[in-house]
Structure 1
Amino acid sequence: MRKYGVGLLLRQIYRTPTPTRCRKAATIPFRAMSTQHGPSAESIARLAARIPQGTWDTHMHVVDPPTFPLSKDAKYQVSPHTIVDAQKFLSSLGISKMVIVQPSIYGNDNACTIDGLKRLGVENGRAVIQFDADTTSTEQLQEWHELGVRGVRLNYKSVGAKPEKISLAAQMHKYATAVRPFGWVVELYIGMEDIPLLETIVPDLGDVKICIDHFGRPTQTNELLPGFSSLTQLLKLDNIWVKLSAAYRLDPDPQHPLVQSLARSILRTRPDRCVFATDWPHTRAEDVDVTLYLQELFNWCEAEDVPLRKILVENAEELFDAQP
């Protein structure tokens, strides 16, 4: 298994593939991150002015424990963050379209996620849910599809589970078979160190879309990065997507070399297979200023000559079947 360190990733970024990229990379300003205060109204307005019309936040959660009790197996507790809260947060950035992703703390009970999706409507909303493929009927999947559900999430990382090759392959085949007739996404949250397992699994799944959450989420961010080479190999396939999301889970500084190198390497490899998300409300994290990460997204796209509209609008529309 080939391992990549931050130094090697940076050398890949700052190599000289074209004079244009080299010049742009050199102009990315350094700015220390501060989480002591929230973003100013001025900074929010400045960012909102750059966000294209039709932008999708492709990964956010709705949680409302008083109305929709958490699973008895929930690994953590969280205060309410309702669909109204989500809309208020995103509207400040000029975003009205969102993909609600089922959080691990609700297990297979999708009531809160579906309630939020119904409130959004199919024009502005999509959802990624969890369900038991052995017991869920085609009729139930069709009902969810008509509401705007476009994916199922297999979440190992949030619950502290370590995927094994045989069981992971069996799960992915089972869920790919279930969602294939609907054109849904199989969304996968595992550590980057486990991504090599996918190299022999994904090619056997046919054309079912696979989306890897949160940059592939390395578990160790200050060590070598096993799995990065597998991620770049997988991105050569047309059905693999990556969410440029939750960078703060890698490091609290969005300009940390690891965050910069991962984001730009992925963007350069398959700009047509990257989508962006806020990961609101940032469960199990504090003082996250999303505007800092949005600014870095603008920098990454500029440095790699990728149109913002591709990442924020077009790719999301394709991945979640949301073309107008």
Structure 2
Amino acid sequence: MVDRRQMLVATGAALGATSLFGIGKVMGKELGHMSPIGFAVPAGVVDSHCHIFNPEKFAYSPKRKYTPPPATVQDLQRFHAALHVHRTVLVQPSVYGTDNACLVDALGQLGKDARGIAVIDKGFSGQQLDDLAGAGVVGVRINLEVGKDRDFNSAIARFEQTVETLRGKPLIVQVYAALPVLADLAQRIQIQPHQVVIDHFGLAKAADGPEQGGMSALIGMMQSRKVFVKLSGPYQISLQKPGYADTAAIGSTLVQASPDQVIWGSDWPHTGGSERPANAKPTDIEAFRSEDEGRNFALVKSWAPQAAQRHKLLVENATRLFGFGSRTA
């Protein structure tokens, strides 16, 4: 009997046999300078948000909005070793659309210490969802932000379609959307059956502080224990490069409000690093951000000043949510 994971991977690899990057060796994501982290990193840290890009083996979607360079499993492992991170949640990036073969391949390489968040559409069958779950996928992502889709009716339709497609299967629903959209979705999120994860601080604007519109709705969803929020990618909400110090107020507010519902993610390898010219095409290769990984990780102490808070943020909450310890292969 052919392993279903191998079938998923083989399909994507066949499509990627002729890559836009050619057949020569392409450099992956290098590990740059790292500042001291500044706190004792606990055992069992979960990076709940990172991506793999392997265009030499798995071709990007022709409908993608941008074209990143490679960032492989081996690159990710070097990064995690430097930070003393032990577990990984890979998130399907938008450039692969609903072809999750690269994600499945990476999960196979990483084994029991990895989980995946896939992207699906309404055409996915129950068997396809079961195959993804068998490969280590624990949730699906709704991305409303890459296309800047901030229409309320569109957001509702996408969310309800995803819930319907899951047909009650015990998968997490992950949402990447602007804070006003999340506030509009709050009631629908509360009444559906799945655990929900919100990306990147709910895209609260650091400059506007914790009193900005939408924060109370986000905190209310967290306190209902239906919703987890990722404290991930500080540059997603801050313009204060390179230290992103103004994220402290947002991060600490979320930690204090609901310490059991926050999880940390690196957002490695940090897409969106180039200022796109007005005439840029989606096929133009867009460099990753140049980030000081140690300095970004050190921000955790400003969001969660107490060691017990940091342990929940970095280890306990994500271990429980993503089911680490329950997968044997």
Which TM-score bucket, shorter chain as reference?
0.7 to 0.9
Question: In 2, distance between residues paired with 1:179 and 1:244?
Answer: 26
The answer to whether the 8 A contact 1:248-1:254 is kept is no
Aligned position for 1:203: 190
TM-score normalised to structure 1 length: 0.79
Aligned position for 2:223: 236
CA displacement at 1:51 relative to structure 2: 1.8
CA displacement at 1:180 relative to structure 2: 6.1
CA displacement at 1:308 relative to structure 2: 2.2
Greater fraction of residues in helix: 1
Q: Within the alignment, does 1:172 sit opposite 2:162 as a pair? A: no
Question: In 1, distance between residues paired with 2:244 and 2:70?
Answer: 30
The one of 76, 88, 94 equivalent to 2:78 is 88
The answer to whether the 8 A contact 1:271-1:306 is kept is no
Task: Give the gaps of 5 or more residues in structure 2.
Answer: 1-31, 274-288
CA displacement at 1:266 relative to structure 2: 0.4
- Cα-to-partner distance string for 1:275-303 (whole Å, 9 max, x where unaligned): 00110000012221121122120233225
Aligned position for 1:130: 119
Q: How many residues align?
A: 277
The aligned amino acid for 1:72 is P
Secondary structure at 2:52's aligned position in 1? coil
CA displacement at 1:221 relative to structure 2: 4.2
Q: Could you say what the CA RMSD is over the residues aligned between the two structures, in angstroms?
A: 2.1
Question: In 2, distance between residues paired with 1:84 and 1:104?
Answer: 21
The answer to whether the 8 A contact 2:235-2:244 is kept is no
Aligned position for 1:218: 204
Q: Within the alignment, does 1:61 sit opposite 2:51 as a pair? A: yes
- Cα-to-partner distance string for 1:146-185 (whole Å, 9 max, x where unaligned): 1110010000112222232x33223223322443644211
After TM superposition, the runs of 4+ consecutive aligned structure 1 residues lying more than 4 A away are 219-224
Question: In 1, distance between residues paired with 2:195 and 2:134?
Answer: 19
The one of 57, 66, 70 equivalent to 1:76 is 66
The one of 287, 293, 296 equivalent to 1:293 is 296
The one of 262, 283, 291 equivalent to 2:250 is 262
CA displacement at 1:238 relative to structure 2: 1.2
Q: Sequence identity of aligned pairs in percent?
A: 29
Determine which structure has greater relative contact order: mean sequence separation of CA pairs < 8 Å that are 6+ residues apart, divided by chain length: 1
Aligned position for 1:271: 259
The aligned amino acid for 2:221 is L
Question: In 2, distance between residues paired with 1:220 and 1:316?
Answer: 24
Secondary structure at 2:115's aligned position in 1? strand
Secondary structure at 2:228's aligned position in 1? strand
Task: Give the gaps of 5 or more residues in structure 1.
Answer: 1-36
The aligned amino acid for 1:67 is K
